[in-house]
């Protein structure tokens, strides 16, 4: 009882996300409306028993990419709401939340420009050999291999949602032939943005760059497999800024080692951080540590969105931006 009295008033909010906790601006904004909050100060991704331990006193959780499983929820019965910091709900057991009457709040596309900028960066960097030649220069090797222009090439966008559609708009000045594959009819969007909706197979065969922008679902898991990669042109590049597990990593590793495709740029991996050093050291693989949605502006937008969802759920007055 005494311990409860020393805590600030209001619902107890636990923030598992590391990048939210690193932002002084977001910490201050959350404290203003929910003074009884605490953060992941360890800077490690919690899972299983550690995650339960972190959440056990919380009424609300602000989560990033932590796995919110049925097991975790069974041991945190006091939880009333999970507010998603970021996008993609593949790590959250939504059925379990429903059964337990725990609210789930999220906003799609809140970090789209951050992810689509990195995607464009990958496309340009692969095509123009920015990464490869820059790496050699650091080893005092002056190799003038400038790749080829992205302008005028055929780019295949797999998944035309928030990010995929934004990538298409960023590509507009480059006069690319744009191919789109989506399970939803995107003909109106394609017409407006000079793109063509086509089958996945046709997109794979024709594209100079294949870029993935799909959610991780039972339909998309390991969608990029050996067959997919074998159909790509040997001069083509693969870009993945969505979810690591939409790619069969061992099939991609083989394809890169055997020169079945020219190269790949990944911001996401099957396991994060990835432990396959041989894979990471491949000269035709570019990797970044899941920074797509982590531009400062996107971090603040994702954080503000997560806070706003808590505010509307608990009925506090919103934090002023």
193 noted as active-site residue: no
Helix %, strand %, coil % for the chain, to 5?
40, 15, 45
In the structure encoding, which two tokens stand for residue 182, read together? 């989506």
Catalytic residue among 201, 272, 278, 300: 272
- Please give the full DSSP string across 229-278, using - where no structure is assigned: HHHS-TT-EEEE-S-GGGB-HHHHHHHHHTTSSSEEEES--SSSS---HH
Q: Is 243 a catalytic residue?
A: yes
Cα–Cα distance between 131 and 265 in angstroms, integer?
10
In this structure, are residues 216 and 159 in contact, taking their beta carbons and an 8 Å threshold? Answer: no
The CB-side HSE value for 289 (13 A sphere, CA atoms) comes to 4
DSSP class of residue 174?
A: G
Cβ within 8 Å of residue 150, ≥6 positions away: 123, 124, 127, 128, 174, 176, 209
| C-alpha span between 180 and 204 (Å, rounded) | 10
Question: Does residue 75 carry a catalytic annotation?
Answer: no
Q: Out of 12, 112, 113, 243, which one is annotated catalytic?
A: 243
- Exposure string for 55-78, b = 16+ CB within 10 A, e = fewer: beebbbbbbbbbbbbeebbeebee
Among 91, 84, 86, 39, smallest CA distance to 70 is for 91
Active-site residue (options: 12, 213, 290, 309): 290
Measured CA distances, 97 to 13, 17, 215 (Å): 17, 19, 20
Distance CA 229, CA 41 (A): 41
Nearest to 63 by CA among 105, 17, 14, 96: 17
What residues act catalytically? 243, 272, 290
């Amino acid at each position: 009882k005494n311990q409860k009295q020393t805590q600030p008033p209001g619902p107890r909010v636990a923030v598992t996300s590391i990048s939210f906790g690193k932002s002084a601006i977001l910490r201050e904004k959350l404290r203003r409306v929910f003074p009884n909050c605490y953060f992941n100060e360890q800077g490690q991704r919690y899972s299983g028993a550690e995650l339960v331990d972190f959440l056990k006193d919380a009424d609300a959780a602000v989560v990033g990419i932590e796995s919110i499983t049925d097991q975790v929820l069974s041991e945190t019965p006091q939880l009333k709401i999970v507010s998603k910091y970021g996008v993609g709900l593949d790590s959250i057991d939504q059925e379990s939340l429903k059964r337990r009457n725990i609210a789930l709040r999220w906003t799609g596309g809140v970090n789209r420009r951050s992810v689509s900028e990195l995607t464009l960066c990958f496309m340009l960097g692969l095509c123009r050999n920015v990464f490869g030649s820059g790496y050699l220069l650091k080893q005092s090797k002056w190799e003038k291999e400038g790749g080829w222009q992205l302008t005028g090439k055929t780019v295949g966008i797999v998944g035309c949602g928030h990010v995929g559609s934004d990538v298409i708009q960023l590509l507009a000045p480059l006069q690319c032939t744009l191919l789109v594959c989506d399970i939803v009819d995107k003909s109106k969007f394609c017409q407006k943005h000079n793109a063509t909706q086509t089958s996945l197979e046709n997109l794979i065969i024709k594209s100079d760059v294949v870029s993935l922008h799909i959610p991780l679902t039972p339909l998309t898991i390991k969608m990029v497999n050996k067959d997919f990669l074998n159909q790509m042109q040997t001069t083509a590049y693969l870009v993945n800024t969505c979810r690591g597990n939409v790619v069969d990593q061992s099939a991609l590793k083989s394809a890169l080692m055997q020169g079945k495709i020219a190269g790949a740029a990944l911001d996401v991996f099957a396991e994060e951080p990835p432990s396959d050093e041989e894979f990471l050291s491949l000269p035709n693989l570019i990797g970044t540590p899941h920074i797509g949605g982590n531009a400062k502006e996107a971090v603040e937008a994702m954080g503000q969105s997560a806070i706003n969802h808590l505010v509307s759920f608990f009925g506090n007055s919103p934090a002023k931006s």
